[in-house]
Amino acid sequence: MLKTVSTAVLDIAYLRRGHLLTVCRKDENGTCSAIGAGKCPRIFA
C-alpha cells in the first residue's frame, strides 16, 4: 500500500484566462500557494 502524506493536500484549479493553468497547493495550516503564473482562487484560501 502507498502511504499518502496527510500534511499537504494538492488542489488543482483551472483558471480560464487565455490558456492559463494554475496549480494551487494547500498546506495543513490552510496556507495556499499558487504554482504558476496565476493566483489561487478564494476557494482554496
The whole-number pLDDT of residue 19 equals: 42
Provide the pLDDT confidence category of residue 3 given band limits of 50, 70 and 90. low
Average pLDDT, the chain: 55
Residue spans of the domains in the chain: they are 1-45
- Summarize pLDDT for 19-33 with one digit per residue, the tens: 445 566 666 776 666
The whole-number pLDDT of residue 30 equals: 67
Residue count (the chain): 45
Q: Which of 32, 27, 31, 41 is nearest to 14 (CA)?
A: 41
Phi, psi of 24 (to 5 degrees): -105, 135
pTM for the structure as a whole: 0.25
- Summarize pLDDT for 30-45 with one digit per residue, the tens: 666 666 555 665 554 4
